[in-house]
Structure 1
Amino acid sequence: MNCNKHISEKLRHIFGQQIISAIENPEVIEIMLNADGRLWIDTFDGIKEYGSFSNEAARTLICTVASMTDNLVERNNPDLSGEIPFLIDGQVSLLRFQGMIPPLVMKPVFSIR
């Protein structure tokens, strides 16, 4: 198994079907989690509410992405920014990821583009 496929499989597991569906939708430009736990998607038709995501799941997702990209997210380093390879229809796409945890923000937030 090549590294990109392995990383994509791990990401599919931590993202969950809701986020994966948005990532694979060509109409979706960005996926955003606000501190209130509401998930939003930005599409060619505008921004739409897309469900919710728990604080625990968001923190786990951010910390896992940090680990996969050889970064550390903690109280003294609460901001993560980077690119992660992701397989979509057999092609590697680079997803831009931004995640933040307290104390920089009230609750974990992230954005995937």
Structure 2
Amino acid sequence: MNKLTILCFFLTSFVATTVQAQDLSPEQASGKVVFDKWCEPCHGRVAGGLFGGLGANALPGTSALGVKYKGDLPAVLEDRTDLVPIYISTVVRNGLYGMPISRKTEVSDTDLDNIIAYLTRPH
């Protein structure tokens, strides 16, 4: 790839990310920040070239959900449209299978409400 192609790719990615962030309410934007810190490391999306081409399946939470849903539902939480507030709250506070609980000293009630706003936003 030449330098211009690479530059165009990064500028396009930046503009797409900026536009997406502008479409979020303040609560949703705050929820994305908290999600990126506490949830994304296990439940996020990884570029396909990383981890030997495994992509998102290299992350434990995303991989586990991929196995569980077998393609019937998206494995990446940010792609889901079926999540409801009570489910998110229960799983975050109580854990589920291999997922640990999140204490209020880590994810406050306000943070959790913002994560819920982010994950349940219209797609």
Larger proportion of helix: 2
Comparing both chains, which one has the higher relative contact order based on Cα–Cα distances under 8 Å and sequence gaps of 6 or more?
Answer: 2
Say yes or no: TM over 0.5. Answer: no
Larger proportion of strand: 1
Q: Structure 2 length normalisation: TM-score?
A: 0.34
Greater Cα radius of gyration, structure 1 or 2 = 2
Q: Structure 1 length normalisation: TM-score?
A: 0.36
